[in-house]
Structures are given as structure tokens and as C-alpha cells.
């Protein structure tokens, strides 16, 4: 029963749960995104193939992420679906037995949706820049600014990235890729 209790929405956020500021928007040119990232001095970390299996949970989102079929992590996060940059509390747990975990969570919660994407990852200061091609959805840019230098710094860095990559505030997506895929289905 402790495992099920872990996902209880009545629990308060543990002090150790990290926070980031996120923004996601459709993006018409992956090559332009790559050029801009390099021009601002972001460090290219590689291109990853990710499969995210989202599970039905009462509060927040729970997904099993497979990275290039070699790395696996369980990610829980909670955030508003606002059509602006928004804060997210999250927890990431590396897995050594991902197939067993996926089977267990399928039985416990059921699968909400599976998201497949090719992600080009850049790091810039305390931000992750994701240039994504998402199966059945198209191309997107996503910024995740880790709030480790305060919210004011995170907001300023997010504003800088939005401006440099020319993200129109009207194009910002409020939900996750899982939400977009479910709406499309």
C-alpha cells in the first residue's frame, strides 16, 4: 500500500522535490532551432529517441521514459496546464528493471497514452532546450529552466529563451504531449 500512497494528491510536496519553469510551443523549423541554440552558446547534448508511457493517476502525471532503449526513468510531475510558462514540481527515479515497472504500473493504473519523440537536447545555463519531433503531433520547442537560482532568475532566463527563439506567446501550449495526443485521438 505505500506505493499507492505515494501518488495520493492529498500529500504535500516534499521539500526535496525539484521545481522547474516550463514552456512548450509548436516550432516550424528544427534546423533554425538548432542554429539559434548554438548561436547563444547552448551546449549540444545529443539527439535522443524517447518513448514516454503515461499512466492514469489521480493527480499530476506519471510516466515511464525509455531513452534510446537503454536508459529508463520513472518521472512524476505536477503542474498547471496554463498556456504560458508554468512551474512544475517533479521527481525522477532511475530504473534498473523498466519492463517489470511498466508491467506493474499498467496493472495498477492503466496506460493513458504513449508518446514517441525524437529530441535534440541542448543545455544553456540552468535550462534544458528540447527541439522535438513528436510522432503524430509535429515539431515543437520546449524550455525547462530549473529553479535553482530563484524564481526571478528562472523567469528572466525563460524570457530570454522565448525572445531568442522567437516563440510567439499565442502559440504556447498548455498541456503535455500526452494531452495533445489524447485530444487528437
Question: What confidence score (pLDDT) does residue 84 get?
Answer: 81
**What pLDDT, on a 0 to 100 scale, did the predictor assign at position 85?**
82
Q: What average pLDDT score do residues 7-30 get?
A: 72
Q: Answer whether residue 8 shows pLDDT above 50.
A: no
Q: Quick one: average pLDDT of 64-77?
A: 93
Q: Is residue 11 part of a domain?
A: no
**pLDDT at res. 98:** 85
In terms of residue numbers, what domain contains 63? 19-145+156-166
Residue 173 CA to residue 152 CA, distance in Å, equals 22
Percent of the chain's residues with pLDDT above 70? 91
CATH classification at residue 73: 2.40.320.10
pTM assigned to the model: 0.86
Number of domains in the chain: 1
Residues near 125 by Cβ (< 8 Å), separated by ≥ 6?
157
Beta strands in the chain (DSSP E): 19-26, 43-55, 61-67, 71-79, 86-94, 111-124, 127-134, 138-146
Is 59 inside any structural domain?
A: yes
Task: Please check whether residue 175 lies inside any domain of the structure.
Answer: no
Amino acid at each position: 500500500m505505500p506505493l499507492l500512497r505515494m501518488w495520493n494528491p492529498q500529500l504535500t510536496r516534499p521539500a526535496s522535490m525539484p521545481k522547474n519553469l516550463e514552456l512548450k510551443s509548436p516550432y516550424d523549423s528544427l534546423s533554425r532551432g538548432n542554429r539559434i541554440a548554438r548561436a547563444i552558446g547552448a551546449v549540444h547534448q545529443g539527439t535522443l529517441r524517447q518513448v514516454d508511457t503515461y499512466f492514469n493517476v489521480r493527480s499530476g502525471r506519471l510516466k515511464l521514459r525509455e531513452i534510446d532503449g537503454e536508459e529508463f526513468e520513472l518521472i512524476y510531475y505536477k503542474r498547471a496546464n496554463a498556456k504560458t510558462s508554468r512551474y512544475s514540481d517533479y521527481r525522477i527515479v532511475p530504473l534498473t528493471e523498466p519492463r517489470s515497472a511498466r508491467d506493474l504500473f499498467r496493472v495498477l493504473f492503466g496506460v493513458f497514452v504513449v508518446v514517441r519523440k525524437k529530441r535534440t537536447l541542448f543545455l544553456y545555463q540552468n535550462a534544458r532546450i528540447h527541439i522535438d519531433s513528436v510522432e503524430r503531433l509535429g515539431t515543437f520547442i520546449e524550455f525547462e529552466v530549473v529553479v535553482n537560482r530563484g524564481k526571478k532568475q528562472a523567469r528572466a532566463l525563460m524570457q530570454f529563451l522565448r525572445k531568442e527563439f522567437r516563440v510567439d506567446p499565442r502559440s504556447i501550449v498548455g498541456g503535455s504531449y500526452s494531452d495533445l495526443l489524447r485530444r487528437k485521438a
